[in-house]
Amino acid sequence: MELIAGTELRSMGYGDKGMQIGVENYQFGEEFQRLVMAPPPESGSSFTSLLELPPNQAVELLHSALPEGAAEDSLKQSNSTKVKAEPADSGSKSNPNSSDPSESEKSLKRKERETKGNGSSKKSKTAAKESPEDGEKLPYVHVRARRGQATDSHSLAERARREKINARMKLLQELVPGCNKISGTALVLDEIINHVQSLQRQVEYLSMRLAAANPRIDFNLDSLFSAGNGSLMDYNIANMATPMIWPESLMNGDRQEFQPQWHFQCLSQPAWVKDENGHNLVNSENSLLSFDSSANSGQLKMEL
Partner 1 sequence: FTFPQTKHLPPSLSLSLPLNSRTLVMKTMNPHHQQKQPINLKSLRRRFALRFIRSLKKIHLQQNKTLKTTHLGHAIRPNKTHKLHNNGFMAAHRVKMAAYASMASAVGPRRAWTRAVLHRSTRPGSSSQTPVSRAQKLRSLVPGGEAMDMQSLLDETAHYIKCLSTQVRVMTCILDHCSSTAHQVN
Q: 128 or 175: whose CB is closer to partner 1? A: 175
Is 157 among the residues that bind partner 1 (CB under 8 A)? no
Cβ atoms 87, 109 nearer than 8 A = no
CB of 124 to partner 1, least distance (A): 20
Is 229 among the residues that bind partner 1 (CB under 8 A)? yes
Q: 77 or 194: whose CB is closer to partner 1? A: 194
Q: Which stretch binds partner 1 (CB under 8 A): 34-42, 124-132, 138-146, 296-304?
A: 296-304
CB of 212 to partner 1, least distance (A): 6
What phi and psi values does residue 56 have, to the nearest 5 degrees? -70, -35
CB of 159 to partner 1, least distance (A): 14
Is 38 among the residues that bind partner 1 (CB under 8 A)? no
Q: What is the CA radius of gyration of the chain?
A: 28
Q: Which of residues 168, 270, 274, 293 is near partner 1 by CB under 8 A? A: 168
Q: 34 or 168: whose CB is closer to partner 1? A: 168
Is 55 among the residues that bind partner 1 (CB under 8 A)? yes
Cβ atoms 194, 101 nearer than 8 A = no
Is 271 among the residues that bind partner 1 (CB under 8 A)? no
Q: Which of residues 75, 127, 128, 206 is near partner 1 by CB under 8 A? A: 206
CB of 79 to partner 1, least distance (A): 25
Q: Which of residues 64, 77, 97, 121 is near partner 1 by CB under 8 A? A: 64
Judged by CB under 8 A, the chain residues 244 through 263 that form the site for partner 1 are 244-246, 248, 251-253, 255, 259-260, 262-263
